Amino acid sequence: MITPFHLALPVHDLHAARAFYGTRLGCAEGRSAERWVDFDLFGHQLSLHLADTAGIQAHNPVDGDAVPIPHFGVILTWEDWHTLADRLRTTDQAFVIAPRIRFAGQVGEQATMFFLDPSGNALEFKSFRDPARIFAT
């Protein structure tokens, strides 16, 4: 069994973060205080804390895309990834890298998409057609 991860990220506006993670991504809100809020991010604990800085600091080329660094996300099932991608398209979500299949026909074939939260934190949600190949070389 894989245990949930905990990740804390800086945000500049908790109201905007609640709208994005809670409403747009559909994550349940957990505990909160004046300067932070927790979300259930597909079974993982995401803590968002008010801070002065957030966002992308670099890019790295991967399969023809400029991947934002740092970034984080969750590996979803193939079906859940497509459901999320369809939901985000209906909300006119701006994508850094639009939903697509990367490494098609190769060992690491995966569906991927990148977008920013309201504080500029880069998120990647991905799915492997064959989950047994997540760590395949």
Q: Is the peptide bond before 70 cis (omega within 30 degrees of 0)?
A: yes
Q: 6-50 has which fold? A: 3.30.720
Evaluate whether 40 touches 27 at the Cβ level (below 8 Å): yes
- In the chain, residues under CATH classification 3.30.720.120 are 6-50
- In the chain, residues under CATH classification 3.10.180.10 are 58-133
Coil, strand, or helix at residue 124? strand
pLDDT for res 56: 79
> In which band, very low, low, confident or very high, does the pLDDT at 33 lie, cut at 50, 70 and 90?
very high
**pLDDT tens by residue, 72-115:** 999 999 999 999 999 999 998 999 999 999 999 998 899 999 99
Which amino acid belongs to residue 113? M
Q: Which of 8, 127, 17, 135 is nearest to 74 (CA)?
A: 127
* Domain covering 58-133: architecture: Roll (3.10)
Q: Is the pLDDT of residue 54 over 90?
A: no
Q: Against a cut of 0.85, is the pTM above it?
A: yes
